[in-house]
Structure 1
Amino acid sequence: MGILVSGIIYKGEILAEKKFYPEDGFITENVLGDLFQGIFQFVDITFHDDLHKFSIGNYSVLIIAKHMSQSADPDEEKHPVLIFSIIEKDTGEKPVLNAMEKALDQFFNRYSNFDIRSLNKQKMAKFSSRLEDIFSDLALKLEDRFKALY
């Protein structure tokens, strides 16, 4: 079990993120935000459904989307707030999804729709420590759990 990274995205911008392990060749955060937003929109337009999970190599990517309250701008409906977690394939998904729901709820309780729409990443960067608190029990890979015991 292990979570490599979790983050919150709006309009392709990563607003808050917590990396639990070194990048080891991961793509940069700018590319991640655009990739997830693009894939999510592709699935929405093509299949009229939400994307919840996809796999790449030894990893799975879990995604939960939540729309903000109504806006006068119809473009806002196309851009929900996404929370993602990149996990090892052998990681149980249910506890990670529960933690993601909790994190997204806390994010919406902490920041107003105006804050989110203005993409004030500097203000929201503080939420990374909250992500660390929420995911800390789930973040350790199996080998790291054994190391911690001895």
Structure 2
Amino acid sequence: MAILEVGINLGMRNLVEIKYYISSDNVLDPNLRAGFLTALESFTSEVFGDDINVISLASFKLVCYCEMITLPDDDVNNKQPLLSYAIIEKSTDASVVKEQLNEIISYFLNRYPLNDIFSKKPKYFKQFENRIDELLGDLKLKTEDRFRSLF
């Protein structure tokens, strides 16, 4: 029961990516993942009028939380999805993780101005990884690692 990876994307751009455990032997470009999740979010929003919640795969689940944001004084129709995601083990409670992703986005939006979110490179947001670690607590640990930390 653990979060394997967590991240924040703005549209097709990855802003934050933290890997606690390796979820795959294949190395995936974070911006490719961001593009996939953005396309999936757009598709579910337009076709079904709904948001992505949980995508279940054979070995993992992908949990997402999305907020649409726009630059101040910009066209209201020019919204971008600010999406937090977590790749979790199958046995991890997705609803608990979803709540944490909601908090992560809330703290992220409180910490950084929209102009910075839209214009800065990922290394600018590197310090926010510590905040994510604090928010997730022991959710980022596998069961055996939780026991190990007790002794």
TM-score normalised by L of structure 1: 0.87
1:1-150 pair list within 5 angstroms: 1-26=1-26, 27-68=28-69, 72-74=74-76, 76-77=78-79, 79-150=80-151
Larger RCO (CA under 8 A, 6+ residues apart): 1
TM-score (norm 2): 0.87
Q: How many residues align?
A: 149
**Deviant stretches of 4+, over 4 Å:** none
Aligned partners of 1:9 and 1:83 also within 8 Å: yes
Q: Which runs of 5+ in 2 are unaligned?
A: none
Task: Out of 79-88 and 128-137, give the one that drifted further.
Answer: 128-137
CA contact (8 A) 2:69 2:81 kept: yes
Q: 2:54·2:94 contact (CA, 8 Å) conserved in 1?
A: no
Identity percentage over the alignment? 28
Unaligned runs of 5+ in 1: none
Task: Check the 8 A contact 2:138/2:146 in 1, yes or no.
Answer: no
For 1:2, the aligned partner's letter is A
Between the aligned partners of 1:35 and 1:146, the Cα distance in structure 2 is 36
Quick check: 1:13–1:119 contact (8 Å CA) kept in 2? no
Q: CA–CA distance in 2 between the matches of 1:48 and 1:72?
A: 24
Between 68-77 and 130-139, report the one with greater CA deviation. 68-77
RMSD: 1.9
Q: 3-state SS of the aligned residue for 1:63?
A: strand
Q: Which deviations, in whole Å up to 9, do the C-alpha atoms of 1:69-126 show, x marking residues without a partner?
A: 565235532x220000110111012321222111111100011111112143221122
